[in-house]
């Protein structure tokens, strides 16, 4: 019997199957970030600035095509997250270009261990104290990776310092987004924070010198980063969240750091020692257990309040805040907060989407 053609089999796939394929695609796209920015052979701050500038144009063109536009109220809501987002991306790219991909990816992957307890403290989100054991296990694995980097490789103290700083900036981005975003849908939010982020990075790009001086290779890889990750990766994340639980997506993205190391080996020729492989396995195991334990406990809360935010991961191997179950739900007007993180959000205010 002749099997049906591929096009017919694809049309027969269920929405959940398409969602699963989207998760595979976004994990592959995000895991390429460190390798692509190193391949650009250009200053990381310039790559970050131009990627943000290009993504800003694309998001705003899309928003305009839907008959909407960014307003001053949106800018006020997204200003602090936008600054965090831009400086984080520039810092991560600078760290990645001065470090091995293994170190950059593993340092970034540690951010959930800060975001989850901060979310529990400030926003009354679920956090299982038993998960602390797995957090300590993962930090131990990260230490093994960093301390056993090949002496002849790209790993450096400078790269590690920038990587740690980028991780803290990503935590600031997620926490501030959790507080300020509220009723903004994904397209409006990204159309607002991307220009803010680009403007925040512009002084750093000017200080670097020769803002337009990237090589042809640099421009090529900046375009790849823009369309493959800034558009396709984040688009797949939004698409996947329609049928796949955001907690499940976050757990699936635990594979991202290891896959980043694979890309660096295949595309950059970077080497990884056996002890580093063991450390990567420990970090991934600890992160998986940490996220799974917290996700298991938070599912009951989301059943009662579907707008609960869940931690996922971004292109810098750090977490992002997931979309609500129904991104088309109309916004609800709420009184403006008078202070940053001065109160915890009510259940109706936990309506967040994603940002890397």
Give 45-110 as a DSSP string: HHHHHHHHHHHHHHHHHHHHHTT----HHHHHHHHHHHHHHHHHHHHHHHHHHTS-HHHHHHHHTT
pLDDT of residue 156: 86
pLDDT of residue 230: 83
165 is a domain residue: yes
Task: Using pLDDT thresholds of 50, 70 and 90, give the confidence band for residue 112.
Answer: confident
216 is a domain residue: yes
pLDDT of residue 125: 67
35 is a domain residue: yes
Average pLDDT over residues 277-288: 83
Share of the chain above pLDDT 90, in %: 29
Bigger pLDDT: 155 vs 93: 93
Q: What share of the chain is helix, strand, coil (3-state, %, to 5)?
A: 70, 0, 30
Place of tokens 């049309």: 11
- Residue 311 bridge partners (DSSP): 321
154 is a domain residue: yes
The Cα–Cα gap between 107 and 102 comes to 9
Q: Which residues, in sequence order, are CB contacts of 234 under 8 Å at separation 6+?
A: 26, 190, 354, 356
Q: Which candidate, 126, 114, 319, places its Cα nearest to that of 237?
A: 319
120 is a domain residue: yes
Domain count for the chain, please give it.
1
Q: Where are the alpha helices (H) located in 274-353, listed in sequence order?
A: 274-304
User: Does the pLDDT value for residue 346 go beyond 50?
Assistant: no
The Cα–Cα gap between 18 and 101 comes to 30
Condensed to tens digits (0 to 9), the pLDDT of residues 5-20 reads 656 666 667 787 888 8
Condensed to tens digits (0 to 9), the pLDDT of residues 17-44 reads 888 888 888 888 888 999 999 999 899 9
- Burial of residue 328 (CB within 10 Å: 0-12, 13-18, 19+) is exposed
Task: Using pLDDT thresholds of 50, 70 and 90, give the confidence band for residue 338.
Answer: very low
Q: Which candidate, 317, 252, 207, places its Cα nearest to that of 19?
A: 252
pLDDT of residue 295: 67
The Cα–Cα gap between 307 and 246 comes to 11
Q: Which residues, in sequence order, are CB contacts of 19 under 8 Å at separation 6+?
A: 239, 240, 242, 243, 244
332 is a domain residue: no
Residue 20's Cα: distance from chain center in Å?
A: 18
Task: Using pLDDT thresholds of 50, 70 and 90, give the confidence band for residue 301.
Answer: low
The Cα–Cα gap between 166 and 108 comes to 8
Q: How far apart are the two ends of the chain, measured CA to CA in Å?
A: 46
Among the listed ranges 102-111, 203-212, 318-327, which one has the minimum average pLDDT value?
318-327
Average pLDDT over residues 254-262: 83
Instruction: Yes or no: say if 268 and 101 are a contact pair by the CB < 8 Å rule.
Output: yes
Task: Using pLDDT thresholds of 50, 70 and 90, give the confidence band for residue 65.
Answer: very high
Work out the mean pLDDT of the chain and round it to a whole number.
78
pLDDT of residue 62: 92
- Tell me the Cα Rg of the chain: 20
Token pair recorded at residue 213: 């001086």
Q: Please state the pTM of the whole predicted model.
A: 0.75
Bigger pLDDT: 193 vs 105: 193
Among the listed ranges 54-68, 215-229, 338-352, which one has the minimum average pLDDT value?
338-352
Bigger pLDDT: 297 vs 219: 219
Torsion (CA) 171, 174, 180, 183 in degrees, nearest 10: -170
Condensed to tens digits (0 to 9), the pLDDT of residues 119-140 reads 777 777 666 777 778 778 877 8
336 is a domain residue: no
Average pLDDT over residues 258-285: 85
User: Does the pLDDT value for residue 324 go beyond 50?
Assistant: no
pLDDT of residue 337: 45
Q: Which candidate, 282, 266, 294, places its Cα nearest to that of 125?
A: 294
Average pLDDT over residues 84-94: 94
108: containing domain: 19-325+344-349
pLDDT of residue 347: 42
Condensed to tens digits (0 to 9), the pLDDT of residues 145-202 reads 877 777 667 888 899 999 999 999 988 988 888 888 777 888 888 899 999 999 999 9
pLDDT of residue 149: 73
- Burial of residue 7 (CB within 10 Å: 0-12, 13-18, 19+) is exposed
The Cα–Cα gap between 34 and 237 comes to 19
331 is a domain residue: no
The Cα–Cα gap between 47 and 50 comes to 5
Instruction: Yes or no: say if 308 and 337 are a contact pair by the CB < 8 Å rule.
Output: no
């Amino acid at each position: 019997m002749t099997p049906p053609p591929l096009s017919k089999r694809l049309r027969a796939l269920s929405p959940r199957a398409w969602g699963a394929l989207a998760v595979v695609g976004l994990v592959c796209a995000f895991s390429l970030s460190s390798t692509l920015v190193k391949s650009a052979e250009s200053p990381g701050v310039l790559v970050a600035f131009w990627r943000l500038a290009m993504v800003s144009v694309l998001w705003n063109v899309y928003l305009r095509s839907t008959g909407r536009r960014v307003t001053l109220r949106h800018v006020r809501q997204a200003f602090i997250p936008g600054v965090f987002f831009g400086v984080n991306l520039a810092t991560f790219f600078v760290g990645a270009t001065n470090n091995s991909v293994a170190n950059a990816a593993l340092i970034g992957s540690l951010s959930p261990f800060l975001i989850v307890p901060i979310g529990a403290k400030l926003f009354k989100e679920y956090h299982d104290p038993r998960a602390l054991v797995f957090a300590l296990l993962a930090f131990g694995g990260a230490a093994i990776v960093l301390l056993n980097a090949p002496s002849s490789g790209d790993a450096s103290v400078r790269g590690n310092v920038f990587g740690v700083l980028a991780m803290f900036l990503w935590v600031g981005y997620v926490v501030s987004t959790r507080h300020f975003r509220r009723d903004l849908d994904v397209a409006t939010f990204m159309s607002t924070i991307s220009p803010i982020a680009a403007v925040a990075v512009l002084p750093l790009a000017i200080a670097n010198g020769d803002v337009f001086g990237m090589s042809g290779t640099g421009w090529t890889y900046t375009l790849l980063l823009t369309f493959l990750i800034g558009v396709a990766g984040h688009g797949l994340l939004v698409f996947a969240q329609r049928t796949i639980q955001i907690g499940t997506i976050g757990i699936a993205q635990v594979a991202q750091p290891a896959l980043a190391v694979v890309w660096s080996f295949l595309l950059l020729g970077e080497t990884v020692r056996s002890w580093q492989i063991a450390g990567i396995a420990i970090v991934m195991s600890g992160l998986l257990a940490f996220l799974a334990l917290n996700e298991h406990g938070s599912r009951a809360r989301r059943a009662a309040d579907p707008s609960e935010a869940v931690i996922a991961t971004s292109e810098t191997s750090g977490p992002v805040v997931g979309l609500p179950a129904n991104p088309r739900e109309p916004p609800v007007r709420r009184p403006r907060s008078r202070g940053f993180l001065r109160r915890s959000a009510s259940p109706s205010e936990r309506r967040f989407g994603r940002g890397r």
